[in-house]
Structure 1
Amino acid sequence: MKLDQSMAAVVTGGASGLGAATARMLAAEGVKVTLFDRNGEQGAQVAKEIGGVFADVDVTDQASVEAGFDAARAAHGQERILVNCAGIAPVGKTTSRGEPHPMDMFEKVISVNLIGSFRCIALASTGISSLDPVTADGGRGVIVSTASVAAFDGQIGQVAYAASKAGVAGMTLPVARDLSKLGIRVMTIAPGIFETPMLLGLSQEVQESLGQQVPFPSRLGRATEYAQLVKSICENDMLNGETIRLDGAIRMAPR
């Protein structure tokens, strides 16, 4: 599917990090972009920079997400592309110091990372299915979600995060199968250690230490490299129903 000015996209978590890089990439290709995020100041700034639209959306709230899609479609028409980047990553062990893992934290992570992603997928795919195909194979659109290498190599203290991201990876194939007759492809990217706002807040020494854990290239991944893979997924019509590790061959140790 060729990216151009005839298309619209929604990027969740688009105010920073992987989402912002993806929004900038899509806009550079002429795509009309709407950003969903809770950070109004940053989201509005990125949207202004790329000539897009910002919507203050909580992916855990059905009405909020529906309103976000309504705003996106009012501004740009029905989207053909959804990129799910919204996510949180709190740390907590199954049991620690005589206390069980806080269940409200576990439920919140699942609600944002897994259920939030599926909520957006369900709403976007329903809209995309109404569009005419734009490829010779009958393709109507593309959905890309974000998992993590933690889905496969979850570390100590990552039980909630790993479970949520494993769920994102696990639903990729069945959702792709669900949407196959509608001409909507579904892919997931599982990034390794990337230059996200959280990691960039660490000292340079710590960032370099983390980067050295990556076999090659021995550095943190760049948000633009995530965006580059999103572009490839959009443009390569045979990419469907798979989770791609984008991690420099790292396999995470227990801690």
Structure 2
Amino acid sequence: MNASKTPPQGPAAAANAADWRIDRERAVALFGAHAHDWPIEIVEETGSTNADLMTRVKALPRKAGVLPRPIVRVAYLQTAGRGRRGRAWYAEPGNALLFSVACVLPRPLEGLAGLSLAVGVALVDGLRSLPVAGPGQIALKWPNDVLLEGDKLAGILIETAWSTESASAVVIGIGTNVKGADELAAKIGALNADAPPQARGTVPTALQRALPNANLTDTLAAELNALEPALQR
């Protein structure tokens, strides 16, 4: 992962300067009535938003209702971002939406068997709610990938902080490639050059492929608005 904290340079970056950072006011205006109330933290850089929230919720009392609303933590850069099976998540600052949601659900761990699928379906619904070309081309590859025309658009990582007979604290990490598909594919290709085909995974793509003016703000609002009712259910 690129460790730079500065935004991408060059003519293309200058043309999209307004999209480099999340516009908090616009995001709040786009949030639905319920997601609007979620605490949302936005930081420049961290190791992993999942790890940050895991540390926090592990310190909570282990009982239902201890976290009235989910907490959202967004980072422009994750220096230790990871996906399923410990795979690294690579993203240039400003090109990917990287965030985690911490919540306490009123169910024991065995009652959360469908959580990954529910989150995946919600994520697909949220992305399809954007004015993308051919929304049907966005689909879920169970259990944790969202594809655009067969290429990887987003990934999901769900971790359990603790669980009791009445409640479970979980952290849901989501990474969505919004821009820079060509640069990302080149980076992943170079890293996988010596890896066997079966270990290379799905080719990455970006939302910009189906939505030329894709940006972090609208994508965040769309995904959180879709996650809120899914977590309620």
Structures share fold, TM-score greater than 0.5: no
Name the TM-score, length of structure 2 as normaliser. 0.27
What is the TM-score when the length of structure 1 is the normalising length? 0.25
Structure number with greater CO (CA < 8 Å, separation at least 6) is 2
Structure (1 or 2) with the greater strand fraction = 2
**Structure ranking higher in helix proportion:** 1
